[in-house]
Amino acid sequence: MSKALRLVCVLAATLLTSAGSVLGEDNKDIARMNAGAVTLITDGSDSQASHYASDLAALMEAERDLRVLPVMGHGPVEAVRDLLFLKGIDASIVASDTVAFIRKQGLIEDVDKKVTYIARLGSAQLHVIARKDIATLKDLAGKKINVGAASEARFVTASLVFDSLGITFVPVDGREADAVKLLKSGKADAIVLLAPQPSPIAEDLARNGDFKLLDVTGNDELNEVYAPAMLTAKSYHGLTPESGVTETLSVSYAIAVFDWKKGTDRYYKLRKFADVLYSGIGDLQNGQWSAGWTDVNLSADLPGWTRYVTADEWLADHKRAQADSETKDEAALKAAFQSYLERNNAGIDLNETKASALQ
């Protein structure tokens, strides 16, 4: 073999080795990126859930091996379906009554056993706004009510509440953006909203003066899903009675995940996600984010749901660390107090010795 040919072979071998090394590094980066990518589906665009997802994505931008990729879904029920059956979806943010609705409608078998939650987020309140001549919720029987499309969270809540209370009504088509127009035009006798108070739509109707908020009181079935709440916003003055208080129901949002077994790839991914979320909740509660995080209590239970194991593990570890810290602080305090007593006793003994010498 000539020297020139030998040189060409050496160069070719060197290039192949370098290319293989680079390709290997690229493969490692790709594997790490996929292992840390959490695909989070919401119930739609510009919804409360989508604001939570956007904030979580921003919070976790600084994490080297973790990224949140928000995906716009097609309603709460479809978001749960996608979580369970669509490949690549790791978590979903939905109103917590979605699972109760799916169970009651028989849409997904054993949904309670398949869907768990990593975190209980903030809440939204049910607003039922009607014409002023309608006195109570029961008076809406047979009336025309805009509850939204099946892809809206308010549709799920209204369906569960009215069905449980035995109130049959005539649904009026129209999305939430059309609700005010439908009510003002008389095409709807009442509308249902699901939003944190104060709701801009409710504030608009309050200024009109021709409508009122109706009290909504739960029964045994509803109290297993919802929490009692009060609508007290000052901007609702034109909708509320003289007391300024309207009884209603509140529903929490949740980060839902499939009940992956411990030790699986998804388990480790969700453990990292839970760790960053729980550790960073203080940053999310500084009032600078788009969603309402101030009333979020990550240690709070979610009625009717099971907390996912990674969240339980974080809470247990945090509780142990807090207990250890308190034990150490208590021991240090006792030691300091004991030292003080010893010094004080030594001073007393010394004074007694001097007194004896002077006698």
**Two tokens, residue 337:** 């107090």
Report how far residue 328's alpha carbon sits from residue 221's, in angstroms, rounded to the nearest whole number.
46
Phi, psi of 251 (to 5 degrees): -125, 135
pLDDT band per the 50, 70, 90 thresholds, residue 10: very low
Say what the pTM is.
Answer: 0.80
Task: Output DSSP code: residue 107.
Answer: -
pLDDT in tens, 181-227: 999 999 999 999 999 999 999 999 999 889 999 999 999 999 999 99
Least confident of 35-44, 146-155, 172-181, 343-352: 343-352
Whether 23 has a pLDDT exceeding 70, the answer reads no
SS3 label, residue 111? helix
Report how far residue 63's alpha carbon sits from residue 204's, in angstroms, rounded to the nearest whole number.
41
pLDDT in tens, 222-257: 999 999 999 998 889 889 988 889 999 999 999 999
**Two tokens, residue 86:** 């669509």
CATH number of 23-320: 3.40.190.10
Mean of the pLDDT values across residues 143-168? 96
SS3 label, residue 15? helix
pLDDT in tens, 46-76: 889 999 999 999 988 877 678 999 999 999 9
All structural domains of the chain with their residue ranges: 23-320
Whether 320 has a pLDDT exceeding 90, the answer reads no
pLDDT of 350 reads: 47
What is the end-to-end Cα distance of the chain in Å, rounded?
Answer: 114
Answer for the pair 25, 42: CB distance below 8 angstroms, yes or no. Answer: no
Task: Output DSSP code: residue 307.
Answer: B
pLDDT in tens, 101-137: 999 999 999 999 999 999 999 999 999 999 999 999 9
SS3 label, residue 171? strand
Least confident of 135-139, 147-151, 228-232, 335-339: 335-339
110: left (phi over 0), alpha (psi -120 to 50) or beta: left
Whether 19 has a pLDDT exceeding 60, the answer reads no
Answer for the pair 257, 270: CB distance below 8 angstroms, yes or no. Answer: yes
Answer for the pair 148, 176: CB distance below 8 angstroms, yes or no. Answer: yes
Provide the residue type at 202 as one letter.
Answer: A
Task: Output DSSP code: residue 338.
Answer: H
Mean of the pLDDT values across residues 317-342? 59
**Two tokens, residue 223:** 């109290």
pLDDT of 288 reads: 83
SS3 label, residue 221? helix
pLDDT of 183 reads: 96
